[in-house]
Amino acid sequence: MSAHVSRLREMIALSYGQKVFLLATLPMIIAISLIALVVTSQSRQLAEREIAALETQLIEAKREELRNYLSIARTAFVNTYGRAAPDDEGAKLAVSRELSAMLYGQDGYFFVFDYDGVNIVAPRQTYLIGKDWSGLKDQNGIPITDELIRIARTGGGYHSFDWQKPTTGQTARMIAYVNGLQDWRWAVGTGIFIDDVLQNVAAARADVENRINRTSLYIAVIASIAVIGVFVSGIVLNIRERRLADTKLKALTQRIIDTQEEERSRVARELHDGISQMLVGVRYALELTRKRLSLGQTSADESLNKGIAGLGGTIQEVRRISRDLRPAVLDDLGLGPALQALTEDFHQRTGTPVEFETVVFRNRLDQDARIALYRIAQEALTNIERHAKASEVAVSLAGTRQGALLQISDNGKGFSVAPKQTGLGLRNMQERVEQLGGTLKISSTKTGTTIKALVPLSHMLRPQNMEKEYAS
């Protein structure tokens, strides 16, 4: 099971380039998606308000039209109704005939119901006449007859319901306007179908939805182009960065090789010029001793003593070279004593006085920091010996709030600190400090040079045993 989980994690694990691509594209995709949602929502809300206003305007025009139709009808029978008694059947018959004859449009007509629900006039739907339609409801359960009669009793008004169109026989939405003839207990009204209004509104909604969909499509296309652009740019940058990284790696590899060759050349030179000549001298002294012993000369002791002294010097020279390559005191006692030994050896070798100052750290430096600071001091003193022509040198190691600070100063002739003019040694110093996350500052004038190497607190470790605290 764990093997499958590990394999799945390896498959899911992203490369550095993929992580950069995701970091670049995800915020953009999220932002574009949010913009698309906001634009879509705002567009729909605005369109719904405009469509609702259009629908209200069209329906209000239909209602005004119905009011005018009924006003014309009342004008036609108002004299007959005004002179008739409540039970004047002749007047009622005359008014019903007048209303039956008033047809308009393809589906327009006037209808009459008495307050008991019986239909009296329905010229386009004569099957309704003479029947009691109390309790009639449309397909949505909206009451028709009872509501029309209620509105007529209260003086008049509008009512909307589904009704069958006379011309097509299909059900459509109708708006009816009804008034009451209270003396005769009649509900007189007319209606107009608004399916054309609803169709226009539906078409407007569909058009708005199509526009929103097109806008969303445009945003998606733009987002896709942007993502592709980021992807292509990422590939180009990745290729470019890889080429630069390869170039830097090659340069670093070449510098490492150069450093190794320089160190090998130095060791070979010291072995040839120092150890080899010393050993030749020892051999000559021993051969001379053997010759004198074979001849029985008393001066054999003198040549033997010279050989022994030469062999002792050779041993000291071997120790010095070994110490330069990797001083044992650095591992055994720490950085402070190692630097002190380095400065003393520098003073003995060059005769230049060195002022050395250090403090005991309550926290010690880790191994990487100790080696880096020691090599920086070693490289700096070597440069001073070869190039600076200084008469005074100062080396200090101290702890600050930022970390461990190594400072090396001299009163030599200085040099140019321009990046293109610095040597391999200074570049090695810079790279050692950068690998530790620290900083290297070099200031040089005609009156001297100062090198400051700062190692951060992350390389300061607590001592495991307070009794074994020692200088870093």
Q: Is the pLDDT of residue 203 over 60?
A: yes
Specify the pLDDT at position 469. Answer: 40
Specify the pLDDT at position 419. Answer: 61
Give the pairing of strands 110-114 and 186-193. antiparallel
Q: Is the pLDDT of residue 247 over 80?
A: yes
For residue range 54-74, what is the model confidence (pLDDT) as tens digits?
Answer: 778 888 888 898 899 889 999
Of the ranges 144-148, 397-401, 414-418, which is most confident? 144-148
Specify the pLDDT at position 206. Answer: 84
Q: Is the pLDDT of residue 117 over 90?
A: yes
For residue range 183-197, what is the model confidence (pLDDT) as tens digits?
Answer: 999 999 999 888 888
Q: Is the pLDDT of residue 468 over 50?
A: no
**Taking the CA of residue 357 as centre, how many other CA atoms within 13 Å lie in the half-sphere pointing to its CB?**
10
For residue range 386-402, what is the model confidence (pLDDT) as tens digits?
Answer: 888 888 999 998 888 88
Q: Is the pLDDT of residue 136 over 80?
A: yes
- Mean model confidence pLDDT for the chain: 81
Give the pLDDT band (50/70/90) at residue 7. low
Specify the pLDDT at position 5. Answer: 54
Give the pLDDT band (50/70/90) at residue 202. confident
Adjacent-strand bridge partners of 450: 409, 443
Give the pLDDT band (50/70/90) at residue 15. low
What number of other Cβ atoms are within 10 A of residue 62's Cβ?
20
3-state secondary structure the chain: CHHHHHHHHHHHCCCHHHHHHHHHHHHHHHHHHHHHHHHHHHHHHHHHHHHHHHHHHHHHHHHHHHHHHHHHHHHHHHHHHHHCCCCCHHHHHHHHHHHHHCCECCCECEEEEECCCEEEECCCCHHHCCCECCCCECCCCCECHHHHHHHHHCCCEEEEEEEECCCCCCEEEEEEEEEEECCCCEEEEEEEECHHHHHHHHHHHHHHHHHHHHHHHHHHHHHHHHHHHHHHHHHHHHHHHHHHHHHHHHHHHHHHHHHHHHHHHHHHHHHHHHHHHHHHHHHHHHHHHHHHHHHCCCCHHHHHHHHHHHHHHHHHHHHHHHHHHCCHHHHHCCHHHHHHHHHHHHHHHHCCCEEEEECCCCCEECHHHHHHHHHHHHHHHHHHHHHHCCCCEEEEEEECCCEEEEEEEECCCCCCCCHHHCCHHHHHHHHHHHHCCCEEEEEEECCEEEEEEEEEHHHEECCCCHHHCCCC
User: Please, what are the domains in the chain?
Assistant: 86-193 (3.30.450.20), 328-468 (3.30.565.10)
Specify the pLDDT at position 363. Answer: 45
Bigger pLDDT: 172 vs 54: 172
For residue range 283-296, what is the model confidence (pLDDT) as tens digits?
Answer: 777 887 887 778 77
Of the candidate ranges 4-13, 42-51, 218-227, 300-309, the one whose mean pLDDT is the lowest = 4-13
Tell me the percentage of the chain whose pLDDT exceeds 70. Answer: 85
Of the candidate ranges 82-96, 103-117, 212-226, 438-452, the one whose mean pLDDT is the lowest = 212-226
